A and B are shown apart, each in its own frame.
Chain A
Amino acid sequence: MSARIPDTHAEAWALLPWLANGRLPASDREWVEAHVAHCAECRGELDAQRKVATQISRDTSPDMAGTPGSTGYGSTGNDEQRSFNKLWARIEASEGAAPSASGVAGGFSSRTSRTVRWLAAAVVVQGFGLALFGFNALRDNAGEIVTVAEVPAQRLNAPAVRVVFAPEASMATINTLLTHQELSIVSGPGTSGNFTAELSAKAVASGASADSVAAVLSKDPNVTFAQPVAR
């Protein structure tokens, strides 16, 4: 039995958008094209729909511009990377209790991005810089300087936040940010460049909490992710 050949104006009319976008199945395309060939109304509509399609795909109206990515829909790499960093930090936070089970942490070292490597290096240097300026947050009990990579992640003696800095944030900016919030980095970087930073006793005494500091940090353009660490 041969397939049904609808060849009715109404059915062809309904399928014109997919004739216009090239996604009509061959079984339909044959009879729709045959209908359009002798139907001036459908030819006009097909032409109109092709133009609508062109305009929609080019739409850079105010409602559509300014979406993540500063040039219409074309996202900049920074916007996309910033968004991904937030997501990855969220995934890491949720899987942090069992990182080895996911395989993420173990398999990541060879794939560490340049950004994360830069941040790691920057914060190690920052650790020395802070020490030189009299900060003792990164010193162990014996007074020796400890690089961030050597600090055990579980050593949380005060309220703390987990933070990811923007790739473009300079070391000076990060230093200023940490100083203003009276934060001391105690571990990091994680696999997505996240660091754990503790609040100073003075900040806690003056009413600051991990929640309040995370809220402030998350609004800072130099920070892509910030959340309080559960203790």
Chain B
Amino acid sequence: MALKSVEFQSPRAPGASPDASERELLERIARSKDQAAFRTLYGSYYQRLSRLLARMSVRREDIEEVINDTFWVVWTKAGEFRGASQLSTWIIGIAYRRALNALRRAKIRPVSDEPFDEDSISVMSTDAAETDGQWLALGLTRLPVEQRMALELTYTLGHSCEEVAAILDCPVNTVKTRLFRARETLKQVLPALAGMSGEKS
């Protein structure tokens, strides 16, 4: 099996900063309880939080509640945000902690205990990307939630190592270690990945 070669487009170009416009929205919320600004900010986070929470194995019926609990905090604490971090790390960090609570309440163990089932990979598909995606989806279920989050925040949302550390509330070196372990685990279940970095310098 070979992973289809596709050029990765970073979700965020270096230097691009949506933070300034989002901070302006937050200031309007803090200053005048501006509902239009609140609705815009909610809309700009709804999809990415939905995806992130699904990746954390938060139950579908709980995802909306976690998002709304997060934005309840944004609405009530907007004036307390001092700008020491990116606004996105503040908001996503709140959602992450709320999601952990939701997982605890639901007594969900967000790592699969099932044996790795190679038979679940479709042999009918002729689309290499689709097959690779199925392998990867299975591989991700083997990762602890903290490692999955580090991958998702880095690769899908395009956060820097420091931003991921702020969101997950852990040291930078811990983020590096989590991603290192995630990469090693994925190689064990994704033969194509294991072969790709096998060359020695």
Q: Which residue of A lies closest to B156 (CB)?
A: A57
Instruction: Name the one of B33, B46, B54, B161 contacting A63, with C-beta atoms under 8 angstroms.
Output: B54
Asked if A44 and B197 make an inter-chain contact with CB atoms under 8 angstroms apart, the answer reads yes
B72 and A55 within 8 A (CB):
no
- Cβ of A54 < 8 Å from any Cβ of B? yes
Q: Is the CB of B3 within 8 A of A73?
A: no
Q: Are A44 and B129 in contact (CB under 8 A)?
A: no
Contact status B160-A67, CB under 8 Å: no
Q: Which of A11-33 contact B (CB under 8 A)?
A: 13-15, 17-18, 20-25
- Taking a contact as CB atoms under 8 Å apart, the answer to whether B51 and A64 are in contact is yes
Residue of B nearest to A87 (CB): B68
Tell me which of A13, A41, A61 contacts B137 (CB under 8 A).
A61
A139 touches B (CB below 8 Å): no
Complex interface: chain B residues within 8 A of A67 (CB) = 50-51, 53-54, 60, 63
Query: Complex: how many Å from CA A48 to CA B195?
Result: 9
| Cross-chain contact A53 with B14 (CB below 8 angstroms) | no
Contacting residue for B11 out of A43, A48, A57, A60, CB 8 A: A57
Whether B36 pairs with A80 at a CB distance below 8 angstroms is no
A104-112, A127-135, A148-156, A167-175 - the one binding chain B: A104-112
A113 to B, closest residue via Cβ: B39
Main SS of chain B's interface residues?
Answer: helix
Interface residues on B, range: 35 or more
Q: Is the pair B75, A56 in contact by a Cβ cutoff of 8 Å?
A: no
- Tell me the complex Cα distance, A18–B39, Å: 32
The main secondary structure of chain A at its interface with chain B is helix
Chain A residues with Cβ below 8 Å from B186 are 52
Are B196 and A20 closer than 8 Å at their CB atoms? no
A23 engages B136 (CB within 8 Å): no
- Say how far A103's CB is from chain B's closest CB, in angstroms: 5
Cβ contacts under 8 Å, A52 to chain B: 136, 151, 155, 183, 186, 193
Q: In the bound complex, what is the Cα–Cα distance between A225 and B152 (angstroms)?
A: 32
Asked whether, in the complex, the Cβ of A17 is within 8 Å of the Cβ of B50, the reply is no
Q: Which residues of A contact B200 (CB under 8 A)?
A: 40-41
Assess whether A74 is interfacial by the CB under 8 Å rule.
yes
User: When the two chains form their complex, are residues A48 and B193 in contact, meaning their CB atoms are under 8 A apart?
Assistant: yes
A14 and B176 contact, CB distance less than 8 A: yes
Contact (Cβ within 8 A) B43 A40: no
Q: Pick the contact of B72 from A15, A22, A57, A87 — CB < 8 Å?
A: A87
Residue A117 lies at the interface, judged by CB distance under 8 Å to chain B: no
Give chain B residues whose Cβ lies under 8 Å from the Cβ of A13.
Answer: 180
Pairwise interchain contact B155-A17, C-beta atoms closer than 8 A: yes
Q: Is the CB of A56 within 8 A of B51?
A: no
Given A23-B160, A107-B35, decide whether A80 and B10 contact each other with a Cβ distance below 8 A: no
Are A22 and B12 neighbours in the complex by a CB distance under 8 Å?
yes
Which residue on A lies nearest to B155, using beta carbons? A53
In the bound complex, residues from chain B placing their C-beta under 8 Å from that of A111 are 35-36
The verdict on A51 contacting B6 (CB below 8 Å), with A22-B14, A23-B159 known, is: yes
Question: Are B161's CB and A15's CB within 8 A?
Answer: yes
B residues in contact with A17, CB < 8 Å: 154-155, 161, 179, 183
Binary contact readout B162-197 vs A (1 if CB under 8 angstroms, 0 otherwise): 010000000000001001100100100000010011
Instruction: Tell me which residues across on chain A come within 8 A of B98, comparing CB atoms.
Output: none
Q: Across chains A and B, which 7 residue pairs bring their CB atoms closest together, nearest first? A: A61-B137, A53-B155, A44-B197, A50-B8, A45-B197, A22-B10, A48-B196
5 chain-A/chain-B pairs, Cβ below 8 angstroms: A49-B183, A56-B151, A61-B133, A61-B137, A83-B68
Chain A: residues with CB nearer than 8 A to chain B?
9, 13-15, 17-18, 20-25, 38-45, 47-61, 63-64, 66-69, 73-75, 80, 83-84, 86-88, 90-91, 102-104, 107-108, 111, 191
Q: What is the interface of chain B, defined by CB distance below 8 A to chain A?
A: 3-14, 32-36, 39, 42-43, 46-47, 50-51, 53-55, 57, 60, 63-64, 67-68, 71-72, 75, 129, 132-134, 136-137, 140-141, 151-152, 154-156, 158-161, 163, 176, 179-180, 183, 186, 193, 196-201
